[in-house]
Amino acid sequence: MEINGVTIEDTYAEAFPTWISRVIITAVTEEWAYRAATEATGFATSAIGCPCEAGIEAVLSCEETPDGRPGVSILICAGKKKLKEQIVERLAECVLTAATTSVFDGLPDAQEKLPIKLHFFGDGYEYQKEVGGRKCWVIPVMQGEYVGEEEFGIIKGVAGGNFFVMGENQMAALMGAQAAVDAIAGVCGVITSFPGGIVASGSKVGSNKYKFMPASTNEKYCPTLRDKVPDSKIPAGVNAAYEIVIDGLDEECVSEAMAAGIRAAVTVPGVKFISAGNFGGSLGPYKFELHKIL
Amino acid sequence: MEINGVTIEDTYAEAFPTWISRVIITAVTEEWAYRAATEATGFATSAIGCPCEAGIEAVLSCEETPDGRPGVSILICAGKKKLKEQIVERLAECVLTAATTSVFDGLPDAQEKLPIKLHFFGDGYEYQKEVGGRKCWVIPVMQGEYVGEEEFGIIKGVAGGNFFVMGENQMAALMGAQAAVDAIAGVCGVITSFPGGIVASGSKVGSNKYKFMPASTNEKYCPTLRDKVPDSKIPAGVNAAYEIVIDGLDEECVSEAMAAGIRAAVTVPGVKFISAGNFGGSLGPYKFELHKIL
Amino acid sequence: MEINGVTIEDTYAEAFPTWISRVIITAVTEEWAYRAATEATGFATSAIGCPCEAGIEAVLSCEETPDGRPGVSILICAGKKKLKEQIVERLAECVLTAATTSVFDGLPDAQEKLPIKLHFFGDGYEYQKEVGGRKCWVIPVMQGEYVGEEEFGIIKGVAGGNFFVMGENQMAALMGAQAAVDAIAGVCGVITSFPGGIVASGSKVGSNKYKFMPASTNEKYCPTLRDKVPDSKIPAGVNAAYEIVIDGLDEECVSEAMAAGIRAAVTVPGVKFISAGNFGGSLGPYKFELHKIL
Amino acid sequence: MEINGVTIEDTYAEAFPTWISRVIITAVTEEWAYRAATEATGFATSAIGCPCEAGIEAVLSCEETPDGRPGVSILICAGKKKLKEQIVERLAECVLTAATTSVFDGLPDAQEKLPIKLHFFGDGYEYQKEVGGRKCWVIPVMQGEYVGEEEFGIIKGVAGGNFFVMGENQMAALMGAQAAVDAIAGVCGVITSFPGGIVASGSKVGSNKYKFMPASTNEKYCPTLRDKVPDSKIPAGVNAAYEIVIDGLDEECVSEAMAAGIRAAVTVPGVKFISAGNFGGSLGPYKFELHKIL
């Protein structure tokens, strides 16, 4: 299959379940909501070495937020126990401390809820108040009062949706990946948790040489090793590859994000080949076949 | 003491020692260095609930980086053991994964060094190479090759330098704090690790009511509690306060940053009062007297 | 009328007709489209002293652009003759010169069209090509080839929709205005052409003292002159006012933008009063009554 | 000559004199100064079709500005008569209208001065005041008071310093040009006035086919025309070229900017060739020989 002269490999991305929370952060201006969201979703690229995966899902208009202020929604993804701990710490340290912010549950219809009790910070001076139909706690703080919801819906979502953008050189592949990330930013329900949304150094599980490593470079996808490793997956004419990893609320939005990203990547001159990563079905139950979703 | 009509309280900021590493991140463009730096310093506002404190120190010109590329320097602050773990994880997950980045030691003259062995990720395909006089490891990855140094100097620096910007209302105090952060951005050797550099909800150690809380709201500095708590520190006419917390390589740069920040804050209309936080000397050995540093 | 404790004056904004073109700028990434759009809409705040009024209307997803690339749409507003000249010069100097950009007509259903013949720049090497159903010219340039449409629909739209955000001090009014601009950014069909979308120095037509001036400060709306001029329009307790000026494709979208902006402004602490500017009907045929649109 | 494996052609950039003004814009925060500066320097890429050339020179720390606030300095370049008109209009429409801004002369030692009388906007309510040793006018406006200097030094500077970044494909050349612009941003006294600092469509004077055109595509530098035009200047293996055009206060800073930009460009993978544009000495008196400045 070819789009715009770029070969789309007949393969699939393999993904696995994760628990996800969506937190709506509002603030006096969009910029302040964005700053809090950026801090709260930092150090959260990959569950391999970070305590969770997190990212900014969308900028929200005032009409989309419970308090009518500008907002940003973020997704936080982890195992259930880790998820609670991470929501508590990231909201307590990165949002409650941020200027003018409030937080609201972005999955109010979820059946499962996590209690996130920030109001103890109020040391007894806190009180309850309804904002936009949400039961919130108000905590007196130095800037005045912090207001936020304390129960967050969680659902079982999808982690690890992915595709590879390969180019005739590094800059072509990188700009192709960037165009993909730009396109995915317009899709609801998903995040790309790596720096700038792009992975420069995709990994394989474990290591052949260093048994203590949980993950190591995926030599089959390293362009400089093409002639040194058997079964290289790097096609002739490709000299760089970037991976886009997508976490999302469900299969539909991950699939939509992959399609939007790939369609944007192939508009970039020098992009040559699109593929995706899977472990033959051993990693997880979700399969996103590139030819099907496009 | 008054500057520009704003009262500067005759008090001091109390700070304490911390171990600090400075990492230089370079990339193909400044933007890519900045993106990696942002991810690597996220979820790192306060050691109370985050695994470390970290932030962007400076944007570096090509002449200031070992490989002649655009760069950003970050500071990471923590206890010595935690510091090593955090540098490893943040560089491995947030910089090695980022497009086109390299890392270099930003404290090459420090006597103490931490080995940060990312090259095991190379699974045996890695090799050594000198870049700009620095001994680096080259790791084959999907984008081509990652290049980086693996030994980082650490020094004993200063954490918790601070001052409070108080205003006649919230927006005046916030913009005063923002002007302060803008000014501090021009000072070498320091970071302001909170979201946007500003703390909205300064805390006291422990809690009077909830014994399980390591920290809670500092009611003496809560404007809405002025008439409800004894010994409120909020002057008449003040309705909001923000704290700027500064970590830095030494007392001199923290002092310089505090002075630059305060001088900028008092140019903002509606800013009324500048103070600083201390615990009477019980917290740490460093004292920054506001009247002396200005 | 009060919203969120803020008085909305029972008055109206008066607006007048203008010719408008909407240009879709696409590029390899959103950032490059945005940069071209920023340059092309600069020096275009007010028709009083700038050659036109222009601004960024929206960021477009890849699905919304003719060539499937990331895009930005801009509006350019002026009298018909000036409009043609300004589109030619702004596209020729600020978009054709920008990296990887293409331009497309954003009002393809408009009955009136302006020919914007950039292809003469090709000096005979140019040729025609269809892109996304649009008849484009391809011009060989240093970066490779520029591709763009050369006929742009224009319609009679609305200029000068406006409202005033007044606050108890300058920072409160400014952040109220900023929240308004953030909200308006989410409304289709409109721009706010002033720097950051906000006017700090609203004017009246002509000058009482300097007859050679086409416009001068509107002393009735100057807080520092409240006690010095008769009929000051600044209410007690207000110490700063900002104006938001909106140009849009039709009355509906200007009305929607005004409502969204006002609703956001009144969420900001310290905002006290909302009004709007009119000249008693002498300026133009459009009236936007604040109480009606909210 | 080769740097980092990239050929530097033995040629020179030819530049010509221009009158230049440097305006310091300060504001309550760096962001507001930057927004005003962006608007004031828009639609100002090339004197061929824009009323002037202008751009942001530097972000200034609070210690570098007359009023101790965050600031941005811009350069505006044009013939002397046009320069005065453009400073007046750009300051009146894009800075006086912007929130919280002040303007100061950035060339106070220049022998020649232009009077820029914005204070007539005050309609008689204006008055004089000294700020940081500068004689300013204060104009009552809606946000409170505008403060600014009204005399601006101008000097004879250099326009049209330039070099070409050529790459094996478009994305490599573009990222090379971007790295160059990042490096030039750190050099004092210069601007790169095109969108994002980069020219995608360098021109020649006049047109062979369309006699009414003042400028047209430079076919000798068009990669797609390499085999169609005699004397193509595009080397084998090059498929895209971008031009960086630099205006600056004197030959030294233009030379320094060219050197910094070229050194950064050659670090980008896929960049193959660096050249520069001249018209055999017919355009202007300044010659910047690439081999000499590096």
pLDDT averaged over chain B?
97
Its domain, for residue C171, covers 2-14+157-293
Whether A170 and A289 map to the same domain: the answer is: yes
* The two structure tokens encoding residue D96: 């006086």
φ, ψ dihedrals at B225, nearest 5° = -105, 10
- Measure in Å the smallest separation between the Cα of B82 and chain D Cα atoms: 35
- The stretches in chain D having pLDDT less than 70 are none
CB–CB of D201 and C142 under 8 A? yes
> Confidence class of residue A148 from pLDDT cuts 50, 70 and 90?
very high
- The stretches in chain C having pLDDT less than 50 are none
Give the ipTM of the model, two decimals please: 0.97
φ, ψ dihedrals at D162, nearest 5° = -165, 160
Whether D151 and D163 map to the same domain: the answer is: no
List chain A residues with CB under 8 Å of C28: 175, 178-179, 267-269
- Measure in Å the smallest separation between the Cα of D174 and chain C Cα atoms: 7
Q: How many CB atoms lie within 10 A of CB B117?
A: 12
Whether C133 and C176 map to the same domain: the answer is: no
**Which A residues, 126 through 165, put their C-beta within 8 Å of a C-beta on chain B?**
139-146, 164
Q: What sign does the dihedral A153-A156-A157-A159 (CA atoms) show? A: positive
Whether A44 and A95 map to the same domain: the answer is: yes
Distance CA A60, CA C254 (A): 20
CA D227 to chain centre: 34
User: How far separated are the first and last CA of chain A, in Å rounded?
Assistant: 10
List chain D residues with CB under 8 Å of C228: 125
In chain D, whose CA is at the least distance from the CA of C102? D200
* The two structure tokens encoding residue B252: 């001199």
Q: Are D294 and D265 in contact (CB under 8 A)?
A: no
* D198 near B CB under 8 A: no
Whether B248 and B137 map to the same domain: the answer is: no
List chain A residues with CB under 8 Å of D269: 169-171
Whether D197 and D257 map to the same domain: the answer is: yes
Distance CA B137, CA B142 (A): 16
List chain D residues with CB under 8 Å of A168: 169
Whether C147 and C227 map to the same domain: the answer is: no
User: In CATH, what number is assigned to the domain containing residue C174?
Assistant: 3.30.70.520
Per-residue model confidence (pLDDT) at position D290 = 98
Q: Which residues pair with A275 in a beta bridge?
A: A164
Per-residue model confidence (pLDDT) at position B279 = 85
* C223 near B CB under 8 A: no
**Cα–Cα distances in angstroms (integers) from residue A39 to residues A17, A32, A65, C127, in the given order:** 25, 11, 20, 49
Distance CA A164, CA A185 (A): 17
Give the neighbours of chain D: at least 3 Cβ pairs within 8 Å. Answer: A, B, C
Domain C-terminal end among C155, C184, C218: C155
φ, ψ dihedrals at C163, nearest 5° = -155, 160
CB–CB of A125 and B202 under 8 A? no
**Which B residues, 267 through 286, put their C-beta within 8 Å of a C-beta on chain C?**
268-270
Distance CA B202, CA B275 (A): 13
Task: Name the packing angle between helices D80-94 and D30-40 (round to 10°).
Answer: 130
* C79 near A CB under 8 A: no
**Which A residues, 99 through 118, put their C-beta within 8 Å of a C-beta on chain B?**
99-101
Give the neighbours of chain A: at least 3 Cβ pairs within 8 Å. Answer: B, C, D
Distance CA C283, CA C286 (A): 9
Per-residue model confidence (pLDDT) at position B139 = 98
Half-sphere exposure of D39 (CA within 13 A, CB side): 35
* The two structure tokens encoding residue B64: 């200031």
Per-residue model confidence (pLDDT) at position C164 = 98
> Confidence class of residue B7 from pLDDT cuts 50, 70 and 90?
very high
* The two structure tokens encoding residue B139: 């790791």
Domain C-terminal end among D131, D155, D179: D155
Burial group, residue C251, by CB count within 10 angstroms (0-12, 13-18, 19+)? middle
Per-residue model confidence (pLDDT) at position B281 = 80
Distance CA C14, CA C290 (A): 11
Q: How many CB atoms lie within 10 A of CB D229?
A: 15
In chain A, whose CA is at the least distance from the CA of C184? A61
Tell me the mean pLDDT in the region A90-119: 98
Q: Are C235 and C165 in contact (CB under 8 A)?
A: no
Whether A151 and A188 map to the same domain: the answer is: no
Whether A184 and A86 map to the same domain: the answer is: no
Q: Which residues pair with A135 in a beta bridge?
A: A130
> Confidence class of residue A61 from pLDDT cuts 50, 70 and 90?
very high
Tell me the mean pLDDT in the region B168-174: 98
* The two structure tokens encoding residue A138: 């108000």
Half-sphere exposure of B278 (CA within 13 A, CB side): 19
Whether C199 and C131 map to the same domain: the answer is: no
Domain C-terminal end among B131, B155, B179: B155
CB–CB of D140 and C38 under 8 A? no
List chain C residues with CB under 8 Å of D42: 38-44, 94
- Measure in Å the smallest separation between the Cα of A162 and chain D Cα atoms: 23
CB–CB of B263 and D179 under 8 A? no
Distance CA C42, CA C90 (A): 9
* B60 near A CB under 8 A: no
- Measure in Å the smallest separation between the Cα of A5 and chain C Cα atoms: 15
CB–CB of C178 and A29 under 8 A? yes
Q: Which residues pair with C105 in a beta bridge?
A: C23
* B169 near C CB under 8 A: yes
- Measure in Å the smallest separation between the Cα of A35 and chain D Cα atoms: 14
Q: Are D271 and D6 in contact (CB under 8 A)?
A: yes
Distance CA A232, CA D59 (A): 48
Q: Are C26 and C65 in contact (CB under 8 A)?
A: yes
List chain C residues with CB under 8 Å of B170: 172, 269-270
* The two structure tokens encoding residue B156: 């004993």
Per-residue model confidence (pLDDT) at position A238 = 98
CB–CB of C97 and D208 under 8 A? no
Distance CA A122, CA D121 (A): 51
- Measure in Å the smallest separation between the Cα of D164 and chain A Cα atoms: 18
Per-residue model confidence (pLDDT) at position C264 = 98
Whether B121 and B213 map to the same domain: the answer is: no
Query: Which of the residues A4, A6, A26, A28 would you substitute to probe the C interface, choosing the one with the greatest number of C C-beta atoms within 10 Å?
Result: A28
Whether C147 and C45 map to the same domain: the answer is: yes
Per-residue model confidence (pLDDT) at position D280 = 84
Strands (E), D48-171: 53-60, 71-78, 102-105, 112-115, 127-131, 134-141, 144-149, 151-167
Q: Are B225 and A140 in contact (CB under 8 A)?
A: yes
Which residue type, as a one-letter code, is found at position A87?
I
Distance CA B45, CA A91 (A): 11
Q: What is the number of domains present in chain A? A: 2
Per-residue model confidence (pLDDT) at position B284 = 85
Q: Are A204 and A215 in contact (CB under 8 A)?
A: yes
Query: Tens digits of per-residue pLDDT, C57-103?
Result: 999 999 999 999 999 999 999 999 999 999 999 999 999 999 999 99
Query: Tens digits of per-residue pLDDT, D126-151?
Result: 999 999 999 999 999 999 999 999 99
Task: Give the one of A89, A195, A240 whose C-beta lies nearest to B36's C-beta.
Answer: A195
Per-residue model confidence (pLDDT) at position C6 = 98
Q: What is the DSSP string of D3-23?
A: ETTEEE-S-EEEEEEEEEEEE
* The two structure tokens encoding residue B59: 């944007």
Per-residue model confidence (pLDDT) at position B80 = 95
Distance CA D136, CA B280 (A): 46
CB–CB of B200 and A142 under 8 A? yes
φ, ψ dihedrals at C262, nearest 5° = -65, -40
SS3 A176: helix
CB–CB of B121 and A208 under 8 A? no
List chain B residues with CB under 8 Å of D185: 30
Q: What is the DSSP string of C52-90?
A: -EEEEEEEE-GGGSTTSS-EEEEEEEE-HHHHHHHHHHH
